[in-house]
């Protein structure tokens, strides 16, 4: 038994109730049930309803299951873009989404911010004819957020294009107004504290209509096969999936979403803010540490990136012997930064303890 506390930006620490729900699922033989029966339909419905409440989804939204956020990027481009998507790129993951558009031979564009910087609303130039605007609430690689207000304004200012929001490593923290945007998505191995293997796609009827339009009008333009948005949506309407899905994870996600609802999303956000403040404050006042994201407005509450004066890999090694696993900086920043996930699985007390350990490890 290793018993380390994972503060890695995904996969990360399991949600405290994860094992209890897993035990219940195994006792109820959830892994063996048919995905074409009423038991599975009830599970899908329950998970849908919990997520609908957690994210305050309007009635024109579906909750669809893919295998990863990578898959959702691909499906969004195949189903909601005939030719032009536009990507606000400020890190490795928003860049990868843009690159997917190139691999699909779309005529997409992007505007790029420096690594570690956010976008100023006034500087954003969205080309005419953009069909899908790809925004990132939380860039996992850089720890930069796009504030909800900016997301909402961009969506409102561009009513002719669909808006999709990456909240892979922040959901359910951001308070998105889903009546303003058209889609958002996340992976369960981040803030939901589950094993990887499920991507969750929140998507509205405008996206579905776009997929239908592409199929009707774009000659020889495929929207995919089993995970065409049209197929995903049709099966969703009876709480089924096109293929045999990750039934166990869909069940567990529903249970953890219910736990979050019971705790209260407001409390969850307040605790996240409190823990983030504790860690940012510590980094600010501590010699040898520096907050990477200069502008406080763009600092992520869920993925906190800290520059280290000395080789960060040595600090990470030292901290590991004291029971905490941290993320290193992304790619070029590997030995220069710590990336600390501040997900709901980590309590305020645990964050306090971690900060002490970090202090002793510098």
Where do contacts with its own copies occur on this chain (CB under 8 A)? 1-4, 6, 8, 10-14, 19, 22, 26-35, 66-71, 73-74, 77, 96, 99-100, 103-105, 187, 189, 194-198, 220, 222-228, 242-249, 325, 327
136 vs 150, beta carbon nearer its own copies: 136
Nearest of 179, 180, 166 to residue 138 by alpha carbon: 166
74 vs 182, beta carbon nearer its own copies: 74
Q: Answer whether 49's CB lies under 8 Å from 168's CB.
A: no
| Cis geometry, peptide bond prior to residue 14 (ω within 30 degrees of 0) | no
Structure tokens at 11: 């996969």
CB of 185 to its own copies, least distance (A): 13
The beta strands (E) that lie in 81-170 are given as 85-89, 109-112, 132-136, 138-139, 144-145, 162-166
CB of 1 to its own copies, least distance (A): 5
Q: Token pair 């009008």 is at which residue? A: 217
16 vs 147, beta carbon nearer its own copies: 16
Give the DSSP per-residue string, 300-346: -SSEEEEEESS-HHHHHHHHHTTTEEEEEPSGGGTTTEEEEE--TTS
CB of 191 to its own copies, least distance (A): 13
CB of 123 to its own copies, least distance (A): 29
129 vs 197, beta carbon nearer its own copies: 197
78 vs 358, beta carbon nearer its own copies: 78
CB of 92 to its own copies, least distance (A): 12
CB of 180 to its own copies, least distance (A): 27
Could you give the C-alpha distances from 286 to 163, 199, 270, 289, 294, in angstroms and in order? 40, 37, 24, 6, 16
1 vs 114, beta carbon nearer its own copies: 1
Which of the 8 DSSP states describes residue 299?
B
């Amino acid at each position: 038994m290793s018993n380390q506390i994972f503060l890695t930006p995904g996969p990360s620490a399991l949600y405290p109730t994860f094992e209890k729900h897993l035990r219940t699922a195994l006792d109820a033989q959830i892994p063996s049930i048919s995905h074409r029966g009423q038991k599975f339909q009830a599970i899908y419905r329950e998970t849908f309803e919990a997520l609908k409440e957690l994210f305050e989804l309007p009635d024109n939204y579906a909750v669809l299951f893919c295998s990863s956020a990578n898959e959702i990027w691909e499906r969004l481009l195949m189903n909601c873009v005939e030719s032009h998507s536009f990507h606000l790129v400020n890190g490795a993951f928003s860049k990868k989404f843009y690159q997917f558009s190139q691999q699909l031979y779309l005529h997409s564009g992007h505007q790029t911010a420096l690594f570690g910087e956010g976008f100023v609303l006034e500087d954003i130039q969205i080309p005419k004819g953009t069909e899908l605007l790809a925004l990132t609430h939380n860039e996992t690689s850089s720890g930069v957020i796009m504030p909800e207000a900016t997301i909402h304004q961009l969506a409102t200012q561009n009513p002719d294009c669909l808006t999709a929001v990456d909240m892979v490593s922040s959901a359910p923290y951001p308070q998105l107004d889903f009546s303003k945007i058209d889609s958002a998505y996340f992976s369960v191995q981040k803030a939901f504290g589950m094993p990887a293997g499920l991507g969750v796609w929140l998507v509205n009827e405008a996206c579905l209509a776009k997929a239908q339009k592409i199929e009707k009008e774009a000659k020889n333009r495929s929207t995919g096969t089993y995970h065409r948005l049209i197929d995903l949506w049709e099966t969703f309407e009876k709480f089924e999936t096109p293929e045999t899905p990750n039934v166990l994870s869909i069940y567990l996600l529903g249970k953890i979403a219910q736990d979050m609802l019971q705790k209260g999303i407001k409390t969850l956000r307040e605790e996240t803010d409190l823990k983030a403040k504790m860690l940012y404050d510590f980094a600010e006042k501590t010699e040898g540490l520096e907050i990477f994201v200069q502008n406080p407005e763009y600092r992520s509450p869920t993925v906190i990136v800290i520059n280290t004066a000395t080789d960060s890999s040595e600090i990470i090694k030292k901290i590991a012997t004291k029971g905490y696993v941290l993320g290193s900086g992304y790619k070029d920043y590997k030995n220069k930064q710590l990336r600390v996930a501040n997900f709901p699985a980590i309590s305020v007390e645990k964050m306090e303890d971690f900060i002490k350990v970090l202090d002793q490890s510098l």
